[in-house]
Chains A and B, each alone.
Chain A
Amino acid sequence: MRGAAVLFLTLYLLRSLVAELNSALSGYHLWLFAGGLFVTYSALAMPFHEGFWASILGGLLCDAMSPLPFGTHAGLFAIAHTVVYNTRERLQREETTVRVVVALVANVSLFAAISLMRIGAWHRAWDEWPRMLSDLVWSQAVIALIAPWFFALQLRSLELARANPPRPA
C-alpha cells in the first residue's frame, strides 16, 4: 500500500494548494473545485486496490473540511474511481491529454453530484445556477492548466518512493 500512501500525500498537497487559492479568491466570490484530480491518476495508472484507497482517503480529506455528511466526497470519489478504472482499458491512458480529459469529465460529474445534494439547502435553487456555472467553468480551466503538472508530480513521487506500478506491455 506504499503507492496509496504516496498518492495520498500528493492529494494532501493538492487540497492545501486549492484551499489557499480559494481563500485568496474569496473576495471575488470565485471558488475552485478539483475533485476530478483526486481520482484520475489513481484510477488510470494504479492497480485497483491502491488507487481505490488513495481516492477514498483523498475524499475523506475533502469531507473533513466540508459541511456535507462525512463520507460524501469519499463515496463519490470511490464511485468515480470505479467507473474510470473499468473504462481505462478502452482509453489511451498513457497519454497526458487523455488523462486531462478524464479529469475534466470526472470533475464535471462530481461537481454536478454535489450540487444536486446541496439543492435542498438553497432558498431559491434557480438563482444559484449562474454562480454554479461560473465556479464550474473556472474550475475546469484551472484543472486543464494544472493537471499535467499534477500528474507528473504524482508519477515522480511514486518513482521516488519506488511504488510506481510496472508499465503495461
Chain B
Amino acid sequence: MLGLALAAWLLAPIGLKTLVRSSFFEMTAPIEVAGSYASDLQKFWALRLHSKDDLIEAGRDMARLNSSYSLSVQENGELRAEVERLQALLRMPPDERYRFEHARVAERDFSGWWQRMIIRKGSDYGIPVGAPVVYSGGVVGRVAEVHAFTSVVQLTSDPGLRIAAVVDGDTRPISFQGAENQVFGYPKGVIEFVPLDIYASKSVPRRLATSGLGGVYPPGLTIGEINRVEPSADGLFKTGEVELDPRLAELTEVTVLVPVSKE
C-alpha cells in the first residue's frame, strides 16, 4: 500500500500536484485569515479602552509627524524630477516604478527550517510572485507564492533567500543570505564576497542595503547592519555577519512593491 501510494505520487503529473497543493492551501487560508481578523478586532477593542486624553495626545503627535512628512514629500518630488531630468539628459533607462500595496500579516511561520509569513492580499490585488516586500525598517523579503486572497512572503532571515547588496557608501555588490535565528536572539544573515577593504565590527557597524542588481529590489533599502567581517578561507574576499531588525519577527503590516511595468 505504502509503495503503491509513493509510486503513484512520484508518477503524478506536476499539474495535478500543483492543483492539489493549491486546493489544500486555500482550504487552510480561511482559518488563518479569520485568526488574523480576530486579532485585529481584539486590538481594536483594546484601543477603545484608551481615554480621550490619550486620543487627543496621539492626534497632536500625528499632526506634527504629518507636517514633517509633507515637507519630505515635497522635497522627494523635487528630487525625483531632478533625477528624471538627468536620466533624460544622459539617456539612461528609467527606474522601475512601483505601486505600494499595504497588507496585514495573517500568520508568521518562523521555524529553523524556513522563515515565511502569510499576508492578507493575493492575486485579488494583483500581487505578482517575486515582488519585493518592505516595511519602515527596510526589506522584509519577497513574495514566494500568490494565492487567491493571500500571499506567502519569504523573509530576509530565511536561509533560502539571497539578495545582491552593497555596504553603505560603497558600490561594489556583495551577496547576502539569511542565516540561523537563535531562540530569544535577533535574526541574522551572512554576507559573502565582501571586498577586503571593508571593515565593520559590533562597535562600528555598517549599514547593508540592497544594490538594485537583479531587478527585484529597488536600490538603497536597508537589509541590516554588518557587525562582523573576517577574511574568507580563500583570502580573496571577506565574509561577515549581518544583524537584522528584531521587528522582522513581529510585523503586523507590510508593503508589497508591485512593479508597475508588470501590470
Interface residues of A (CB under 8 A from B): 12, 15-16, 19-20, 22-23, 26-31, 33, 48-49, 52, 56, 60-61, 63-67, 70-71, 74-75, 78-79, 82, 114-115, 118, 121-124, 127-128, 130-132, 134-135
Q: What string of 1s and 0s marks CB contacts (under 8 Å) between B137-173 and chain A?
A: 0000000100000000010000110000000000000
Binds A, one of B84-92, B120-128, B179-187, B215-223: B179-187
Inter-chain contact A70/B110, CB cutoff 8 Å: no
Q: Known pairs A60-B20, A128-B180; list 5 more (Cβ under 8 Å).
A: A23-B35, A26-B250, A31-B111, A75-B9, A127-B179
Q: Which residues of A contact B28 (CB under 8 A)?
A: 12, 15-16, 19, 61, 64-65
For the complex, what is the distance from the CA of A158 to the CA of B232, rounded to whole Å? Answer: 59
Chain B interface residue bracket vs A: 35 or more
Q: Which residues of A contact B46 (CB under 8 A)?
A: none
For the complex of A and B, 8 pairs with smallest distance between CB atoms: A64-B24, A26-B108, A31-B111, A131-B112, A64-B25, A26-B110, A16-B31, A27-B250
CB distance from B218 to the nearest CB of A (A): 25
Q: Is the interface of A mostly helix, strand, loop or mixed?
A: helix
Q: Which residues of B contact A78 (CB under 8 A)?
A: 2, 5-6
A67 and B114 in contact, given A75-B6, A123-B190 (Cβ under 8 angstroms): yes
Q: Which residues of A contact B181 (CB under 8 A)?
A: 29, 131
